[in-house]
């Protein structure tokens, strides 16, 4: 079974993010959910974004990297939206990464290195008409074109944080499919950290 570090989105470590982590735990995986906001949660994307601007996007990303330093290197890095920043940085730059799951966002690979690392499978999940994902879609497609171990899953609809069951944007059908694909991805990782597909 995989060990996972799951980074929350801009509204904080909500009960919906915890519920998603619990789904992965129920499938037998070990899941760490660092709180990058020190206990704060926000009722809207706008409030969460204002907090991140106050603290600094760089500082939030650095908090994620520091949190991962306490964990084994052989983990799968998972991020929801804002959480994709530390998840993707760690997957690209920290030796030993077993894989990455980028939910609702994708950063250009060039932000963290010259190329996606060989032997690190990655999936990107987002709704096809999510306005927040519109800019990231190009980065996601470039990642898939660059790496044979990258996949992009687009879901019908325009909601952003559709996999967080505590938010109005939650879409149960899309979230169920995303969760099933996540569990399958984690289950497919073999003993040496590579995805055998």
pLDDT digits (tens, 9 = 90+) for 146-195: 999 999 999 999 999 999 999 999 999 999 999 999 999 999 985 444 44
Task: Indicate whether 195 belongs to any domain.
Answer: no
Return the number of other C-beta atoms located less than 10 Å from residue 141's C-beta.
14
Task: Indicate whether 197 belongs to any domain.
Answer: no
Q: What is the pTM of this model?
A: 0.93
Structure tokens at 24: 């992965």
Task: Indicate whether 45 belongs to any domain.
Answer: yes
Q: What is the C-alpha separation between 134 and 120, in angstroms, rounded?
A: 25
Residue 116's CATH number: 3.40.50.1820
Q: What is the C-alpha separation between 169 and 80, in angstroms, rounded?
A: 13
Task: Indicate whether 194 belongs to any domain.
Answer: no
Domain residues for the domain of 116 are 3-188
What pLDDT was estimated at residue 113? 83
DSSP 69-105: HTS-SS-EEEEEGGGHHHHHHHHHHSTT--EEEEES-
CB 53 within 8 Å of CB 76: no
Task: Indicate whether 104 belongs to any domain.
Answer: yes
User: pLDDT (tens digit, 9 = 90+) per residue, 31-59?
Assistant: 999 999 999 999 999 999 999 999 998 89
């Amino acid at each position: 079974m995989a060990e996972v570090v799951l980074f929350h989105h801009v509204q904080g470590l909500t009960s919906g993010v915890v519920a998603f982590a619990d789904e992965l735990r129920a499938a037998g995986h070990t899941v760490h959910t660092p709180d990058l906001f020190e206990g704060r949660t926000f009722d809207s994307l706008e409030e969460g974004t204002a907090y991140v601007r106050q603290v600094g996007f760089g500082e939030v990303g650095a908090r994620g990297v520091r949190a991962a330093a306490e964990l084994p290197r052989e983990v799968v890095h998972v991020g929801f939206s804002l959480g994709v920043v530390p998840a993707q940085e760690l997957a690209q730059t920290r030796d030993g990464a077993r894989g990455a799951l980028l939910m609702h966002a994708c950063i250009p690979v060039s932000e963290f290195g010259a190329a996606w690392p060989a032997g690190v499978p990655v999936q990107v999940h987002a709704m096809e008409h999510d306005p927040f994902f519109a800019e990231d879609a190009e980065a996601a497609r470039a990642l898939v074109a660059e790496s044979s171990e990258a996949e992009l899953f687009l879901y019908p609809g325009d909601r952003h944080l559709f996999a967080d069951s505590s938010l109005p944007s939650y879409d149960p059908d899309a979230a169920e499919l995303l969760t099933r694909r996540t569990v399958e991805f984690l289950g497919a990782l073999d003993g040496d950290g590579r995805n055998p597909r």
